[in-house]
Amino acid sequence: MNDSSSSALLTDLYQLTMLQAYRAEHMEGTAVFEFFVRHLSPRRNFLVAAGLEQALGFLENFHLTTPELDWLAATGRFGSEFLRSLRRLRFTGDVHAMPEGTVFFPNESILRVTAPLPQAQLVETRLVNIMHFQTLIASKAVRCTLAAPGKTLVDFGLRRAHGAEAGLLAARACYLAGFSATSNVLAGRRFGIPVSGTMAHSFVEACNSEEEAFLSFARANRDNVVLLIDTYDTESGAAKVVKLAPKLASEGITIRAVRLDSGDLAEHARRVRQILDAGGLGDVQIVASGNLDEYELHRLVQQKCAPIDSFGVGTRVLTSADVPYLDCVYKLQEYAGQPRFKRSEGKATWPGRKQVYRSLDVRGRMAGDAVTLEGDIRPGEPLLEAVMQNGHRLAGPSSLSEIRTRIATQLAQLPEALLSLETSERPYGVLIAEPLQKLTKGL
């Protein structure tokens, strides 16, 4: 497959047919669109904004190539004057956004695009595609870090993520959320995320014996020996590790960890810990994997006697299996200086350019947010900031470690009630401020 992620044709056809009409009507005034989530899904007491870096990259590079334009022309749907206007189309607008890693709630815009209507419209599909997915996964992955505080979490999920880009961006989102590493080599190269890995059952099976497999792997990867011990029988696997350790030590090789991938992980971990400790391998860590998510992590961590040091987390987190999508939208809020909104049943939105203010209580905990119109200055910290002007970024990308710190800080500020893995009975307070209420009623 050729590259798909950077094509401007990665959009819905209606964006182009609408643009053709905007062009015909000379509707090229300034439009304001905002991206937000309408409702929280069950078992999501808060969300974590992510994906802004990729969204800005998309906007900066937005253009249609000549072959793309030729293809559009060949469809016969578009006039030549309109196609010429597409050739020149770049994103020249402004963007305001919450920094990546900001905790947010329904009705709080996390990204605002201010640009000539055709530009702001055409970027909708891919902007939503980018912002939705990383926000979805970051919001899922922080639940894992909350469920397993102090544990090492590693993303193992590439193979069952929904395609290449999902695997890559989910690795990023998990790392932002506090994971320690990813198995995804490309994510390591692209984003500088630490990569980590063990061995597969196929390796053990291909070798003539489990012992041989352990020795070969350790000798070929001396600095990072993690042995998978459940291919045939977990406890026998652990006993073999104990038997082989002195031999490997004599060659200057230290076994760093063993991995369990099947059965009752807590029970196996206890038995394996005993075997390793009795064999003088108290420093060898235990890595567990297999169908893990925040619920299973919570269960394992609560069983305090389950001596697992590190968890490989995969499919259920990288697909956000319990909540595989968010109810997010990118809506027109203002055009040509007038606030806009729709009244569609169950889908009404708050019009106008908005800002979100967050107040902390005396202990530094989040005490409530207010959504209001941009000009209405309120107490607390404004969460949306200018990040792009006239199509150019106002600052370089945030480093991943900066975003990790922001998330960790904000998790520590969350009200206790929101930390539960279940749906909180005390949702966070988000006030729709009076000026916004008034404007809406007035329309």
- Which parts of 78-137 interact with a copy of itself (CB under 8 A)? 117, 121, 124-126, 128-130, 132-133, 136
What SS3 state is found at 328?
A: strand
Give the pair of three-digit tokens for residue 238.
Answer: 């652990």
Interaction residues for a copy of itself, span 23-52 (CB under 8 A): 23-25, 27, 31, 33
- Cβ proximity to a copy of itself: between 16 and 142 the closer is 16
Smallest distance, a copy of itself to C-beta of residue 377, A: 27
Cα–Cα dist 216/244, whole Å = 11
List 152, 254, 262, 420, residue binding a copy of itself (CB under 8 A)? 262
Question: Does the protein bind a copy of itself through residue 345 (CB under 8 A)?
Answer: yes
- What track of x and - describes contact with a copy of itself for positions 229 through 248 (by CB under 8 A)? -xxxx---------------
8 A C-beta contact, residue 357 and residue 372: yes
Cβ-based neighbours of 80, under 8 Å, separated by 6 or more: 73
Cα–Cα dist 148/263, whole Å = 20
List 107, 135, 183, 424, residue binding a copy of itself (CB under 8 A)? 183
Smallest distance, a copy of itself to C-beta of residue 366, A: 28
List 167, 178, 352, 415, residue binding a copy of itself (CB under 8 A)? 167
- What track of x and - describes contact with a copy of itself for positions 263 through 302 (by CB under 8 A)? x---------------------------------------
8 A C-beta contact, residue 372 and residue 353: no
- Cβ proximity to a copy of itself: between 10 and 417 the closer is 10
CA 416 from centroid of its chain's CA atoms: 23
Cα–Cα dist 109/98, whole Å = 8
8 A C-beta contact, residue 181 and residue 196: yes
Cα angle vertex 329, ends 328, 334, to 5°? 145
Smallest distance, a copy of itself to C-beta of residue 332, A: 4
List 39, 87, 247, 347, residue binding a copy of itself (CB under 8 A)? 347
Question: Does the protein bind a copy of itself through residue 374 (CB under 8 A)?
Answer: no
Q: Segment contacting a copy of itself (CB under 8 A): 138-146, 178-186, 300-308, 394-402? A: 178-186
- Cβ proximity to a copy of itself: between 262 and 303 the closer is 262
List 331, 378, 404, 406, residue binding a copy of itself (CB under 8 A)? 331
Q: Count how many Cα atoms sit within 13 Å of the Cα of residue 427 in the half-sphere of its side chain.
A: 16
Smallest distance, a copy of itself to C-beta of residue 371, A: 20
Strands (E), 17-117: 30-37, 47-48, 94-97, 103-104, 111-116
- Cβ proximity to a copy of itself: between 169 and 308 the closer is 169
Cβ-based neighbours of 382, under 8 Å, separated by 6 or more: 355, 356, 357
Cα–Cα dist 4/10, whole Å = 7
- Cβ proximity to a copy of itself: between 64 and 433 the closer is 64
The β-bridge relationship of strands 47-48 and 103-104 is antiparallel
Smallest distance, a copy of itself to C-beta of residue 363, A: 37
Question: Does the protein bind a copy of itself through residue 71 (CB under 8 A)?
Answer: yes
8 A C-beta contact, residue 69 and residue 83: yes
- Cβ proximity to a copy of itself: between 69 and 275 the closer is 69
8 A C-beta contact, residue 308 and residue 265: yes
Give the pair of three-digit tokens for residue 195.
Answer: 């990569």
Smallest distance, a copy of itself to C-beta of residue 147, A: 20
8 A C-beta contact, residue 321 and residue 344: no
List 165, 309, 374, 385, residue binding a copy of itself (CB under 8 A)? 165
Q: Segment contacting a copy of itself (CB under 8 A): 138-146, 241-249, 316-324, 425-433? A: 316-324
Give the pair of three-digit tokens for residue 119.
Answer: 């530009």
Count, residues near a copy of itself per rule CB under 8 A: 114
Give the pair of three-digit tokens for residue 390.
Answer: 């006239």
Smallest distance, a copy of itself to C-beta of residue 397, A: 12
List 85, 152, 315, 413, residue binding a copy of itself (CB under 8 A)? 315
Smallest distance, a copy of itself to C-beta of residue 319, A: 4
8 A C-beta contact, residue 89 and residue 122: yes
- Cβ proximity to a copy of itself: between 166 and 383 the closer is 166
8 A C-beta contact, residue 290 and residue 131: no
